[in-house]
Amino acid sequence: MTLPSLLLVPGAWHKPEHLQLLIDDLPGIDVQTVALTSCGDDPKALGDMYSDAAVIRAAVEAIGGPVVVVAHSYGGVPTTQALADASNVKSIVYLAAFQLDAGDSLLSSAGGDPAPWWEFHRQEGVGDFLTVANPVEVFYGDVDRSVAEKAAAALGYQSYAATTQKLTAVAWQTIPSTYIICEADGAIPPFVQELFAKRADRTLRLNSSHSPFLSQPSALAQLIRHELSLP
């Protein structure tokens, strides 16, 4: 059986390179990733949630054939915005992700309050941005220390505007979705993920931190392979 392609969408601050261990555990799969515009190494050149959605939509259209999209964390927001009428998307997998509804933003879904580990940087004229106070603890609690430190060093700056922009389209209302709850998550509390998962058609679980693509890539790859094989 020919499996669909796989598109991986990273979360805030993260880049495609953070997903390489997972990609290595998916041999034989057509795996593609996107670099989100809202994250980058130049805080003066960051995009926003809507430009992230455009990048995701373009990647899906370039694939052409059937595709499963796996969105991590913030990546769930522009994925939901981008794919409402994408005819070749077989399913969306929300990995410890924000599975939001129309009119929601990431910030509003968190009660309007920034996370205590967000570091806010005001930038007149080009848009405010965020860094992370303690990424190893927040994102990588069960990741090998050397791997976690390397991942933290590779994080980019994150657009603040992207966290405030509201959804105007909702892909999971018309496309099947699966939610993977990370039960030892230090970034998005598991009880919050449980609420998001109520919007999905299926719920799966990993006893992992926020970043199973680094701590448990083989286990995550197994779940994804199963998702790709579903009729």
Whole-number pLDDT of residue 116: 95
Q: What is the mean pLDDT of residues 147-164?
A: 98
Whole-number pLDDT of residue 125: 77
Full-model pTM: 0.97
Separation between Cα atoms, residue 131 and residue 114, nearest integer Å: 12
For 123-142, b/e burial (b = at least 16 CB within 10 A) is: eeeebbbbbbeebeebbbbb
Domain range for residue 36? 5-229
Whole-number pLDDT of residue 145: 98
Separation between Cα atoms, residue 148 and residue 176, nearest integer Å: 33
Say yes or no to pLDDT of 126 above 90.
no
Strand partners, 179: 94, 203
Q: What is the mean pLDDT of residues 33-48?
A: 98
User: Are 172 and 92 a contacting pair, CB within 8 Å?
Assistant: yes
User: Are 139 and 131 a contacting pair, CB within 8 Å?
Assistant: no
Work out the percent of the chain whose per-residue pLDDT is above 70. Answer: 100
pLDDT tens-place string over residues 191-214? 999 999 999 999 999 999 999 999
* pLDDT band at residue 59 using 50, 70 and 90 as cut-offs: very high
- Please name the residues in contact with 47: beta carbons below 8 A apart, sequence gap of 6 or more: 36, 37, 38, 159, 162
CATH of the domain at 121: 3.40.50.1820
Separation between Cα atoms, residue 105 and residue 103, nearest integer Å: 7
Q: How many domains does the chain have?
A: 1
Could you tell me whether strands 129-132 and 157-159 are parallel, antiparallel, or unpaired per DSSP bridges? antiparallel
* pLDDT band at residue 64 using 50, 70 and 90 as cut-offs: confident
* pLDDT band at residue 231 using 50, 70 and 90 as cut-offs: confident
Whole-number pLDDT of residue 133: 97
Which of the pair, 77 or 2, is modelled with greater confidence?
77
Separation between Cα atoms, residue 145 and residue 71, nearest integer Å: 24
pLDDT tens-place string over residues 77-114? 999 999 999 999 999 999 999 999 999 999 999 889 89
Please give the mean pLDDT across all residues of the chain. 97
Say yes or no to pLDDT of 1 above 90.
no
173: helix, coil or strand?
A: helix
Q: How far is CA 55 from CA 36, 118, 177, 225, in A?
A: 7, 25, 20, 24
How far is Cα of residue 117 from the mean position of the Cα atoms in its chain?
Answer: 18
How far is Cα of residue 35 from the mean position of the Cα atoms in its chain?
Answer: 11
